[in-house]
Amino acid sequence: MQEYADSKTAGVYDVDCTTEGKSLCEKHGVRGYPTIKYGDPSNLEDYKGGRSLQALKDFAAENLKPMCSPANLDLCDGEKKTQLEGFMAMSDADLDAKIKEKKAENDGLEETFKTEVKALQAKYEQLQKDKEEGLKAIKESGLGLMQAVQAHKKKVKSEL
């Protein structure tokens, strides 16, 4: 945090999501701890890289710099600049509706993912149960005894 204290383009902050920072954490979708977010304060993204000091420093050096945004249009390529200008020309109500629509799409994808993972987990558990029951049935059918007889026969033949 001290290393970036005087930076005009980057900051490192520690927020306690269980006390005064709870509303901030809820606003930015923090659900687990520790969570690292980066980017434009109005559109923070989840950091998924390494957690060592060197990994964090490397990421910061490569990624924490002024980026294309409404405040920095000069940093945008043609396509992003056109997209941003289109959004800026929208009425507040239209922009709010578009944001809600995209968030609903995002929530739908998240919900589908959770539902499908739950179904996969149930399938995995059923397959595990079927396997264990099958292995038990094979063992109970005499496999161990057959292997013991086979080993005994080989031993007897080798002694002759």
**Which amino acid, residue 49?**
G
117 pLDDT more than 90: yes
In a domain, 120, yes or no: no
**Predicted TM-score (pTM) of this structure:** 0.56
In a domain, 116, yes or no: no
In a domain, 125, yes or no: no
Mean local confidence (pLDDT), 84-110: 96
Domain count, the chain: 1
CATH number of 11's domain: 3.40.30
- What band does 104 get if pLDDT is binned at 50, 70 and 90? very high
Give the DSSP H/E element, type plus range, for residue 5: none
Nearest C-alpha neighbor of 13 from the set 27, 23, 2:
2
Note the pLDDT tens digit of each residue in 18-57. Answer: 888 888 888 888 887 788 888 877 788 888 889 888 998 8
pLDDT value at residue 88: 95
CA dist 135 → 61, 143, 147, 149, 150 (Å): 54, 10, 15, 20, 20
* Residue 59: DSSP 8-state: H
Name the residue with higher pLDDT: 7 or 147.
147
pLDDT value at residue 152: 94
In a domain, 127, yes or no: no
In a domain, 35, yes or no: yes
> Torsion angle, CA of 115/116/121/123, rounded to 10 degrees?
120
In a domain, 59, yes or no: yes
- Mean residue pLDDT across the chain: 90
pLDDT value at residue 89: 96
128 pLDDT more than 90: yes
Name the residue with higher pLDDT: 55 or 4.
55
Domain residues for 43? 1-89
CA 89 – CA 109 distance, rounded (Å): 28
